[in-house]
Amino acid sequence: MLIESTRNEAVKRARALANRKGRAEQGLHFIEGEKLVREAIVSGAVFADAFVEEGHDLMCAVLAGSGAHVYTVKRAVMESLTLTDTPQWVCAMVQTPSAALPNYYPAGLIVALDCVQDPGNLGAILRTADAMGAVGMLLGAGCADPYAPKPLRAAMGSIYHLPVWQASLTTELARLQEQGFKLICGHLKGGEALPAPTNKCVLVIGSEGSGVSEEVAALCETYRLPMYGFAESLNASVAAGILIYELAREMHK
C-alpha cells in the first residue's frame, strides 16, 4: 500500500512512539535507518508496521517476510515520520521486548546504571556492554528510556543483543550480591586499584551530575579512575567504556 499523506492513521500511530507515553500505550518502539532495521530483522524482533520509500522492493519483501505490515511511502511522509535531519529510506514499529527480572541472574558481566538520564550516554553504554560481552544491563529508577529514539540510534542495534532489565537498583543489587555477584562501582572517593572481578560481576555507573547514590555505593566496592591531566571527571559513557573494557578483559583472561 502506498501512503502519500502525512495524516494517514498508520503514520500517526508511528509518530506517537516519539514519546514515552505512546510507547507504553502501544507496547512498541520506533526504529529508523537501514542498519537498525536490519539488526532488528536478524535478531528476530517482532515487527508491527514498517515504512519504506519507493524503489526499495527487496527491503519490502524482507520486512514482509519478518512479519511486518509494510507500507510504501513518499519522501515527504518518510521525513514526517523520522526525527533525524536527513532520514534514510526505511523505518519501522517494533514490539518492545518484555524483560522480566530473572529468578537467577546469568553469570558474567552485568552493567547497572544509577539514574543515567542522558539518552545518548545510555545508548553508548549499552553498545559498549554488548561489544564487551556483557550478559545484561540493569536500569534503576530515573534512567532514560532505552527504547526512545536517541538511545536506540546510539546503541546501533545492541538493544536486541542482550536483555535490559528495569527495577529498583538497590533491591536488585542486594539480590545479585546474595547470588554471588561482586558489585563494583565508579566513585570519585573510591580506591585507585581496580577490584579483581570474578566470573559473576556487576559494574555500576552513576548519573552524569552526581554519580552513584550513597545507598548504591554502600553495597559496592568503589573504584576511582586515575586522572593524569587537568579534567576532574569524564563523560559517563566514556568512563563506563573504560571500566567495562578493563573488567571484561580481566574476566576473559
pLDDT tens-digit map of 2-24: 888 999 999 999 999 999 999 99
Is 189 or 91 the better-scoring residue by pLDDT? 91
**Pair 186, 239: CB distance under 8 Å:** yes
Q: Which amino acid type is present at position 141?
A: A
Q: Is the pLDDT of residue 59 over 80?
A: yes
Buried b vs exposed e over 90-108: b needs ≥16 C-beta within 10 Å? bbbbbebbebeeeeebeeb
Mean of all residue pLDDT scores within the chain: 93
Least confident span in 18-32, 167-181, 232-246:
232-246
Q: Is the pLDDT of residue 98 over 90?
A: no
**Pair 75, 53: CB distance under 8 Å:** yes
Sign of CA dihedral 239, 98, 40, 24: negative
Residues near 96 by beta carbon (within 8 Å), at least 6 away in sequence: 23, 27, 28, 29, 147
**Pair 139, 166: CB distance under 8 Å:** yes
**Phi then psi dihedrals of residue 199, to 5 deg:** -80, -5
143-165, pLDDT tens digit by residue? 999 999 999 999 999 999 999 99
Q: What is the pLDDT of residue 86?
A: 84
**Residue (of 97, 93, 94) closest to 81 by Cα position:** 93
Cross-strand bridge partners of residue 204: 112, 185
pLDDT confidence band for 190 (50 / 70 / 90):
confident
Q: Is the pLDDT of residue 91 over 80?
A: yes
Q: Is the pLDDT of residue 229 over 80?
A: yes
**Pair 204, 186: CB distance under 8 Å:** yes
Q: Which secondary-structure segment (H or E) carries 204?
A: strand 200-205
Least confident span in 39-43, 70-74, 169-173, 190-194:
190-194
Q: What is the pLDDT of residue 209?
A: 79
Look-up of cell digits 520509500? 53
What is the number of residues in the chain?
253
Q: Is the pLDDT of residue 202 over 90?
A: yes
Buried b vs exposed e over 24-48: b needs ≥16 C-beta within 10 Å? eebebbbbbbeebbebbbeeebebb
Global confidence as pTM: 0.92
130-143, pLDDT tens digit by residue? 999 999 999 999 99
Q: What is the pLDDT of residue 193?
A: 85
Is 117 or 211 the better-scoring residue by pLDDT? 117
Q: How far is CA 40 from CA 87, 113, 119, in A?
A: 18, 24, 20
| Structural domains in the chain, sorted by start | 2-95 (3.30.1330.30), 108-251 (3.40.1280.10)
Mean pLDDT of 79-90: 89
Q: What is the pLDDT of residue 242?
A: 94
Q: How far apart are CA 12 and CA 237, in angstroms?
A: 33
